Structure 1
Amino acid sequence: MCMLLSSMMSGTEPHTDREEDYRFLHSMLMEKKLHLLFKIHEQLKRFEKRSPVPVQEHAANLASSLAEELIYQGWREEVKELLALISKPHFQSLLHVHDAVAQRDFEPVLPPIPDDALEDEEDSVKIVSLVKTKEPLGATVKRDTSTGAIVVARIMRGGAADKSGLIHEGDELKEVNGVPLEHRKPKEILPLLARSKDEVRFKIIPAYSREEMSTTKQKLFVRALFDYDPNQDPSIPCKDAALTFKRGDVLQIVSMEDDTWWQACHLEDSNGGAGLIPSKELPCVSLPAGLRRSFRLGRKSSWAKEAARFRRWSAGVHSSICPPTYIEVIPYHREPKDRHRVVILVGPSGVGVNELKRRLLISDPDRYGVTVPHTTREKKRQESEGVDYHFVSVHMFEELILSHRLIEYGSYRGHYYGTSLDSVHRVMAEGKVCLLDVHPSKIKRVYTSEFKPYVVFVKPPRIEELRLTRRRAKFNLCCLMDTGDAIFLSQEADFEDMIDLAENMERQYGHLFDKVIVNGDIASAFRELRSDLEKIQEARVQWVPTEWSFSSPTKARRSCSHLPSWI
């Protein structure tokens, strides 16, 4: 600090136009008291680095006892001088400050409990006083249906009530700031708390005696597989205490004690208070919005056809298990030497998966690569081995099938076609991001920690937007072809089939999707996809399913959490 002050002094040269200001600044910097303050500051900083501990926590009492002893030690000059020194108000104030710092007595002092606080009450009644801050109390209340009493329904982890350790779920509230709560409704409690200025005082009957349990807190993280807005949920017990999240958000679960409402916080707000989220049980009560759809009567479909389709769909939904709502995840710390994650694009036929893959390859051929498929048909004259296809015999292809080395395969006009795991390894060995487009049912072949797939689901927009974009694309293509016919373009019935297939895919395999992109406009969808993939490739920490089992502690933690990977 002294060196900084000297440099400031040397840099303050007089200017003719502001000479008066310069003189004032120079006189301030030359003040002896300022220099002394800087020196004290430097000494304190050096002292702080040593992390000192107090030798005496009650120096004021010691000084008072010393003064009493000195009175009986005669009246020599040195005794008189010492007694006068320790009796000065400034010195005594200094000792009191020293004791406050040594005892770390910084918290505000709550007023004493009134003598009549426990009159006419049983011994189990307790008084809890909390200093009021801007932080919410972090508790919800309800009326007990059997007794009519106001009880604490839930304590939010990380809130003021939770940090105090004095209020617990099930406690009965008798008074708030001296106001009896008998015959009051839960919604009337909030105004009583709002009127409090410095403290909030509760009279409580504890629910039951609690023993201290030494339990190790386990951190549990999940990725949401659906959007949730508490303002749209009529079943939420307290909208103000709920947590809003989007599909793909990573949440930390802090409490699963309630079977229907868990407590969680966003990953970036793990040090803050928790909020309520639906447990894995709640979404099964009613069909999620993604599973509800209305009849779409096209030109080529009849009411009977749609009704039959709806009956088949409804029976399938109600007879199947509830779709997953969360997936347990763990952080994956990517090292520079690690290979890129495989990117899998899935979607119904005609939605634009191939076009998005083609644009990614053209945009950055050094970053992205694709696999070379295997086939059993004969090589054509213009084709090259290992470039267009890997041409193999039927026997070799069937060996790949039996050894489970194919991600997916099929036959066309009597010949086998398929994508092998080896072809994926070749692209990864080149240091590129391998792009795959497979049916969602085949993802499980590469859903391992070896490939760490990042799955992108490409879905069509609403049918009105789909008609508009395809009509525009058809017009542009016809202009290029100088013809009014483009028979391969999707028709109205194909639009409905595409949307139906997309809904089925999302319902059955949505728990595997890391990203959902709506392809209403191919250019916008491509920009969104490229931006998302760049963020994933550059991120050092990524959240991946725990079932990939990167380490044994994860397995141990999962066994303690009572939460399966897919929930």
Structure 2
Amino acid sequence: PDCRSAPLLYFSQRDFEPTLPPIPDDVLEEDEDSVKIVSLVKAKDPLGATIKRDKSTGAIVVARIMRGGAADKSGLIHEGDELKEVNGISLEHRKPKEILTLLARSQGEVTFKIIPASSKEEMSSHKKLFMRALFDYDPNEDPTVPCKDAAVAFERGDVLQIVSMEDDTWWQACHLGDSNTRAGLIPSQQLHERWSFYTLAVRQPTSDVNGPSLSFPAGLRRSFRLGRKSSLAGEAAQSGRWSTGVHGSVCPPTYIEVIPYHRDPKDRHRLVVLVGPSGVGVTELKRRLLISNPDHYGVTVPHTTREKRSQENEGVDYHFVSIHMFEEDILNHRFVEYGRYRGHYYGTSLDSVHRVMSEGKVCLLDVHPNKIKHVYTAEFKPYVVFVKPPHIQEVRLTRRRAEFTCAEEDKNSVRIFSEEDFEDMINSAETMESQSGHLFDKVIVNGDIAVAFRELKAALEKVEKAEVQWIPAEWICSSPTKARRSCGHLDSWI
């Protein structure tokens, strides 16, 4: 943003200064506690404040108040205050540099309409709590709902505005944007978790209570074309049926708090993470996306410690590095995921993700769900797509003679699925969804690869075109440093 000084302002404090104007008629009585009118007068000295656009809401906010400046002495403007209007002109969708130009054209008295930071917090806590549903809910199929006519139906992915959480079992909510629709009942997080645990306990076989069976993580096997044996298999053995995941609590997927994100055209594209069990078709979907638009989509180049072969190119097939360098990057947490195969390391680094995104492309990343946590941050803003198999009868029909390209050394091999493979695919999908379902933005059932591809491509295009995207609140609010880095541009001096 343009940081050049606009004509600057003083608070009117003396009798011979212009008389403060009356409060505009369009400020309603019920807004008196949440909206403030401040009148200032231009002078030679600066106002002593900076502004920026909050990227999560699109609002223009006061970023800093300089001690001893006019704004500080007036006591009327504070850090975090949202500027709504200048001289009756709305600041909605305006950039800081446009506001500087607007102030430059103003003469004498300048009137600001402000939402104080304290009022914004109160409004947010009482009116602006949004949750994205992580399950489908139909009150007509719920025998426990107190009143079916008073309940709200929703689907996975819907954003709900929570109106009341006073009842421990039944919250009041409405669909986002349904301003004319009354609030209705939805099952609380506690209620749905309790029901999910009960359902799982009833149908869970005794042999699976202590955790999933030993297997190589599917995402790593697909990404690096490795075999089944891996030192990472122990991680799968040590994890329980329910994992703490990113949120650090043992719970099935219910709701996740979200906030609006207004993507600036200059911002990097969101990272796209594809996950799913082995054989479900994640690799094929990724391949089709790349073919459909190679200038728009890109993939990472993995790192390895094995020797480069004659037909391979550095930075195209792999990044070939020393064992010392690879292990140093492991210690510095520079890998999204990694493993060993036949004595050599293979891995996907965070740097390789950055390279694709810096080219202005949408980076397609294929990882195991328990590795998403390494990129589940405001920096990458991942859009996570879970690809799951259909019912086992359809799996048998569509996968029985499916051909999958194996390791590069054995390109002519054809994978024929066994009945055990089908069962493993279904069980693995259920485990992934139960453990990591709270991370999934989109779930696609791959019964027909052509249909699944069209659905995936349409979903990604919709996300890119959306003016407002809903992202987990924890990305912005989990730490002051992260919030400052993610919520706005550089400050503009006023």
TM-score range, shorter chain: 0.5 to 0.7
1:514 maps to amino acid: D
**Which whole-Å deviations, capped at 9, do the CAs of 1:477-535 have from their partners, x for residues lacking one?**
9xxxxxxx986221111100110011000000000000000111111111110111111
1:280 CA drift (Å) = 1.1
Tell me the equivalent position of 2:294. Answer: 365
Percent of aligned pairs with the same residue? Answer: 71
Tell me which of 158, 170, 174 is aligned to 1:249.
Answer: 158
- The corresponding residue for 2:306 is 377
Residue identity opposite 2:342 in structure 1: R
Alignment map for 1:53-452 (pairs within 5 Å): 216=123, 217-287=126-196, 291=200, 308-309=207-208, 321-452=250-381
What's the CA shift for 1:430? 0.7
Residue 290 of structure 1 and its aligned partner are, at CA, apart by 8.1
Is the counterpart of residue 529 in structure 1 residue 456 in structure 2? yes
Give the AA of the match of 1:501.
S
Q: Is the 8 A contact 1:226 1:325 kept in 2?
A: yes
Of the two, which has the highest radius of gyration? 1
TM-score under structure 1 length normalisation: 0.53
Deviation per residue, 1:277-328 (Å, 9 max, x gap): 0011111333379848969xxxxxxxxxx76347978xx6699943131000
- 514-523 or 268-277, larger mean C-alpha shift: 268-277
Secondary structure in structure 1 of the residue aligned to 2:363? strand
Change beyond 3 A, Cα 1:290–1:502: farther
Distance 1:486 1:367, change over 3 A: closer
Residues in 2 aligned to 1:226 and 1:431: alpha-carbon distance in whole angstroms: 33
Shift of 1:228: 0.5
For residues 454-494 of structure 1, the C-alpha deviation after alignment (integer angstroms, 9 at most, x for no partner) is 000011110000011123647x99xxxxxxx9862211111
Unaligned runs of 5+ in 1: 1-50, 54-214, 296-305, 478-484, 557-567
CA distance in 1 between partners of 2:346 and 2:326 (Å) = 9
Q: Is the 8 A contact 1:424 1:434 kept in 2?
A: yes
Mapped partners of 2:349, 2:243: distance in 1: 35
Alignment deviations for residues 212-268 of structure 1 (CA, whole Å, 9 cap, x no partner): xxx753410000011100011111000000000001100000111111110000002
Distance 2:342 2:320 in 1: 16
Q: Is 2:443 the partner of 1:516?
A: yes
Compared CA separation, residues 456 and 254, structure 1 to 2 (3 A): same
Distance 1:285 1:412 in 2: 41
Normalising by structure 2, report the TM-score.
0.61
User: How far apart, CA to CA, are the structure 2 residues paired with 1:218 and 1:461?
Assistant: 39
Give the counterpart of 2:467 among 540, 555, 563. 540
SS in 1 for 2:393: helix
Aligned counterparts of 1:543 and 1:359: Cα–Cα separation in 2: 27
In the aligned structure 2, how far is the partner of 1:415 from the partner of 1:472?
A: 32
CA shift digits 1:20-57 (9 cap, x unpaired)? xxxxxxxxxxxxxxxxxxxxxxxxxxxxxxx999xxxx
Residues 252 and 434 in structure 2, CA contact (< 8 A), matched pair in contact too: yes
The gaps in structure 2 that reach 5 residues or longer are 1-23, 27-121, 213-239, 245-249, 406-411, 484-494
Residue 453 (structure 1) aligned with residue 382 (structure 2): yes
How far apart are the structure 1 equivalents of 2:197 and 2:175?
22
The residue type paired with residue 428 of structure 1 is M
Query: Matched residue of 2:354: which SS?
Result: helix
CA distance in 1, matches of 2:335, 2:188: 38
**Higher helix fraction (1 or 2):** 1
- Change in CA separation of 1:513 and 1:291 when aligned onto 2, cut-off 3 Å: farther
CA distance in structure 1 between the aligned counterparts of 2:478 and 2:440, rounded to whole angstroms: 23
Q: Which residue identity lines up with residue 133 of structure 2 in the other structure?
A: A
Tell me how far 1:272 sits from its aligned partner. Answer: 2.6
Pair 471,329 (structure 1): closer, same or farther in 2 beyond 3 Å: same
Q: Provide the C-alpha distance between the structure 2 equivalents of 1:451 and 1:319, rounded to a whole number of angstroms.
A: 23
The partner residue of 2:391 within 425, 447, 462 is: 462
Measured in 1, the distance between the counterparts of 2:164 and 2:358 equals 43
Q: Contact conserved, 1:340 with 1:431, CA < 8 A, in 2?
A: yes
Cα 1:275–1:451 shift into 2, 3 Å: same
CA distance in 1, matches of 2:352, 2:343: 23
- State whether residues 265 and 273 of structure 1, in contact with CA within 8 Å, keep that contact through their aligned partners in structure 2: yes
Q: Which amino acid aligns with 1:340?
A: H
Task: Answer yes or no: is the 8 Å Cα contact 1:347–1:458 preserved in 2.
Answer: yes
1:490 equivalent in structure 2: 417
CA gap 1:290/1:351 in 2 versus in 1, 3 angstroms = farther
Say if 1:263 and 1:276, in contact at 8 Å, map to a contact too.
yes
Root-mean-square deviation (CA, aligned residues, Å) is: 3.3
CA contact (8 A) 1:221 1:251 kept: yes
Q: What is the SS of the residue equivalent to 1:269?
A: coil
- What's the secondary structure of 1:268's corresponding residue? coil
- In the alignment, is the contact (CA less than 8 A) between 1:224 and 1:246 conserved in 2? yes
Q: Which amino acid aligns with 2:459?
A: D
> How far did residue 390 of structure 1 move?
0.5
Once the two structures are superposed, residues 433-463 of structure 1 have per-residue CA deviations (whole angstroms, 9 ceiling, x without a partner) of 0000001111010001110000000111100
The answer to whether the 8 A contact 2:140-2:148 is kept is: yes
Contact (CA 8 Å) 2:400, 2:417: kept in 1 or not? no
> CA offsets per residue over residues 365-413 of structure 1, 9 Å max, x none?
0110000111001000011111111111011111111111111111111
